[in-house]
Structure 1
Amino acid sequence: MAERLRGIFTPNLVPYDADGGINEPELRRYVDWLIERGVHGLYPNGSTGEFTRFTPEERQRIVAIIADQARGRVPILAGAAEANARETLRACEAYAEMGVRAVAIVAPFYYKLSPASVYAYFREIGLNTPIDVTLYNIPMFASPIDVPTVQRLSEECERIVAIKDSSGEIPHMIRMIQAVRPNRPEFSFLTGWDAALMPMLLVGCDGGTNASSGVVPELTRKLYDLTLAGQLDEARHIQYDLVTLFDTMIFQAEFPEGFRAAVNLRGFQMGRGRQPLSEGQLADLSELSRTLQCLLSTHGFTDQPVGGCPVDTPAPTSSGGAGSADDVSRITQAVLAELKRRGLA
């Protein structure tokens, strides 16, 4: 039996070159950086990775590059959602040949389907896939996967081994765990909502696919470790920090441009995204970069921003990062000051 999916699987952003293509050398450098900073696995072709903005061939190339660069150091959970079950199964076959640990498949999108149709779709895939499957529930973008559907699929399809839930609803996660674990104790539950990582772990989740881990992998890994170790006061402080950073990245720019801007600040050349932006949006993104630099510099993750925030270099610790109440206060004050300057608070 394959090892259960556990830990932090980073949804990979994709750097672009000057022509809008995949910047392979920068993507490889990014993969190494994430692994060196402690993420448990990699998750290409997710929502943060803008999978809908690539062709099927590009999606497979992204996974091939990441699998080659990772060289088995960490497992890969590859997004395999295509337009229909037949094409999705072809992607599953391709990723199985690349040695990927499992695939993540979003419920059918665009058309809002009934639970019966969602069940039939995943059952078709689950009975014919050559690779383990993680269900991906993201009801804001796709047909929701309800608890009875997860329970039926877990009992009928051995290859369906996990669910990634991005609803952020703790009661929904609890109900799924209660329904599935008695008959499938090895089934994995992952949360895709950064703002609830700590409480999700406490109610029984095995880990997360968290966009913030692509920006501050050190803090996300530390939060995971502290929570599992029962060091809840320190874990709580880091969770507060991550919420502040997450909210800034997700609400102050078109998703995932805020996350791309933050990764730029960590030393990578992410290039200009494929989604065209208006002049006003580009100006907002420039200001967002300054706010993010204030946040990241508080933890010692970037140099001092131009025209901005004082840098408080945290004292080194054995586990790295920061997470004190003072850190939370400084970050919050920096964000509020920036929002007030922009007339948003």
Structure 2
Amino acid sequence: MMTTEQKPLQSEFGPQTTAKEVLAGQDLSGKVAIVTGGHGGIGLETTRALSGAGATVIVGARDVNKAKEVLTTLKNVEVIRLDLVDPDSIDEFVAVFLSSNRALDLLVLNAGVSFPPTIKDERGFDTHFATNYLGHFQLTVGLWEALKRSGNARVVALSSIGHMTGPINFDDLHFNKRPYDKVVSYGESKTACSLFAIELDKRGREHGVRAFAVHPGAILSGLVRHLSDEDLAGWGVKRNEDGTYMSSGDFKTAEQGAATSVWCAVSPMLNGKGGVYCEDGDIAEVVSADSTLQRGVRSWAIDPALAEKLWTISEDFLHISHGTIPQRP
């Protein structure tokens, strides 16, 4: 199969499009989806949109009771405990889902952290990298047979414009040698998410599994809760006493933030396509490495050689046999 060009398709959607608008007229009855972190922020709106269109949605959440409470009014939604920084929790989630013998049609790797108070996990891994990327890598590998069983599955990995901070430092992924920088750490984890989609698509396409990276846009969700007031002020944001935010900046609503995830998951325009970075309801354009634009994708986030390198390193980190998801011949 031909590689999909990293070039906009000129879709009818844009920054203001909502997930519900993307799904207008579509019937997802019979489809099974997993949305990690699907009970808050853009994850909740992704769950709401997919379930509203008839899909069965399994939400992976650290706090099952909290998730069930939030999702109680939605139809066709199940919750399974999932802590992406805990390899045993990921294996348990996979085992529970696989025991249902269902094919998996849509896998939305939505959950993540930004600027957490603990910068390393119990393994000594950078927390951004471990949670935003490596946990999702382990989850996807575990669900591989269910994805193949679909015959027409899509995997959506949430990246971020944060990738523009620079390429991954493969010599010091966990900040053991260089000073810790929360912005760089977050950006590298999101570059990893994009590279993951590139390599997964290459390995999955002959099995009917296509993958996409998504920049949802700037959203004032719970992900910013660990930022200081000074950090927020730099973005034109003020934290209110009740925990809400006021902004003078160009932020999307959660409903708008979920739109590109849903577009990548279901759009007929993407049939036969994959391995691209998307934003604002379309495939993003490639911009120069030194661009200051808060849009577009930098070359290091879609580089196939870097994507393959990261994949191999990730297998080693998780003690996964090379070729569990084999490369194409």
User: What TM-score, normalized by structure 1, do the two folds share?
Assistant: 0.32
Relative contact order, CA 8 A, sep 6+: which one is greater?
2
User: What TM-score, normalized by structure 2, do the two folds share?
Assistant: 0.33
Higher share in helix: 1
Structure showing greater Rg: 1
